[in-house]
Chain A
Amino acid sequence: NAGVTQTPKFQVLKTGQSMTLQCAQDMNHNSMYWYRQDPGMGLRLIYYSASEGTTDKGEVPNGYNVSRLNKREFSLRLESAAPSQTSVYFCASKAGTSTGELFFGEGSRLTVL
Chain B
Amino acid sequence: GENVEQHPSTLSVQEGDSAVIKCTYSDSASNYFPWYKQELGKGPQLIIDIRSNVGEKKDQRIAVTLNKTAKHFSLHITETQPEDSAVYFCAASRNNAGNMLTFGGGTRLMVKP
What is the interface size of chain B, counting residues whose CB is below 8 A from a CB of the partner? 30
Question: Which of the residues A41, A59, A97, A106 comes within 8 Å of B105, measured between beta carbons?
Answer: A41
Q: Are B103 and A100 in contact (CB under 8 A)?
A: no
In chain B, positions 16-74 with a C-beta closer than 8 Å to chain A are 31-32, 34, 36, 41-46, 49, 51
Q: Are A98 and B1 in contact (CB under 8 A)?
A: no
Question: Which of the residues B41, B100, B106 comes within 8 Å of A58, measured between beta carbons?
Answer: B100
Most buried by B among A40, A44, A92, A100: A100
Question: Which of the residues B43, B95, B104, B105 comes within 8 Å of A92, measured between beta carbons?
Answer: B43
Q: Are A43 and B98 in contact (CB under 8 A)?
A: no
Question: Which of the residues A42, A45, A100, A104 comes within 8 Å of B45, measured between beta carbons?
Answer: A104
Contacts of B46 in A (CB 8 A): 101-102
A104 to B36 alpha-carbon distance, docked (Å): 10
Contacts of A68 in B (CB 8 A): none
Q: Are A104 and B44 in contact (CB under 8 A)?
A: yes
Contacts of B98 in A (CB 8 A): 31, 48, 50, 56, 97
Contacts of B31 in A (CB 8 A): 99
Name A's B-contacting residues (CB within 8 A): 4, 31, 40-45, 48, 50, 56, 58-59, 90, 92, 94, 97-102, 104-107
- What are 16 inter-chain pairs, A to B, with CB distance below 8 A? A4-B43, A31-B98, A40-B105, A42-B4, A42-B105, A43-B103, A45-B101, A45-B102, A48-B98, A97-B99, A98-B97, A99-B99, A100-B99, A102-B44, A107-B42, A107-B43
